[in-house]
Amino acid sequence: MNQLPKWHQLPDLDLYLDQVLFYINQQTSSVISQKEKPLTAAMINNYVKHGYLPKPNKKKYTRRHLARLIVLTICKPIFPIAAIHAMIERLSQEEDSALLYDCFVRCFQGDSQDAPILIQKTCQTIHAYQETLALVQELEGDYHEL
């Protein structure tokens, strides 16, 4: 599994939509299942429309947008978007976006020390889902060999 970028590794230049799509899909491709649909422009537009993602400034997206999109992309196969948004908003009341994002990345990669319980449980659930999916795919492969 490749490493998710930490906050300081996210592009510090604002990006246009096509650049955002390329970047997010590149960063999350080894983390999400191949059966999952990659991030699309329509998804981003819906996230903005429903308030799950802040509106871009002059059609440009910041680090904060990128971090939120990475989290949404990783969590959306398991959790409803509204639940992910609620979790982010709840945690953001207590902590800075950069610190929360880095905490999520560390926890997702196995270091849950000092992570809020909500982030720990989210990462555990994602990993359990991915492990189950891998087992199902193995079984499907065994089935097709018969």
DSSP code of residue 112: -
* Distances 10 to 34, 88, 98, 102 between C-alpha atoms, Å: 24, 18, 10, 11
Q: Where are the domains of the chain?
A: 7-145
Coil vs helix vs strand at 57: strand
Q: Looking at residue 33, what is its pLDDT?
A: 82
Closest CA to 78 of 7, 1, 132: 132
Averaged pLDDT, groups of 10, the chain, 146 residues long: 87 96 95 88 97 96 97 96 94 91 96 92 95 87 60
What span, in angstroms and rounded, lies between the C-alpha atoms of 67 and 100? 10
Q: For the chain, report the end-to-end CA distance as a whole number of angstroms.
A: 30
DSSP code of residue 96: -
pTM: predicted TM-score of the whole model, two decimal places? 0.91
What span, in angstroms and rounded, lies between the C-alpha atoms of 108 and 55? 27
What span, in angstroms and rounded, lies between the C-alpha atoms of 69 and 47? 9
Altogether, the residues listed in the chain come to a count of 146
* Distances 141 to 34, 66, 135, 138 between C-alpha atoms, Å: 15, 35, 10, 5
What span, in angstroms and rounded, lies between the C-alpha atoms of 60 and 14? 5
Structure tokens at 118: 């909500």
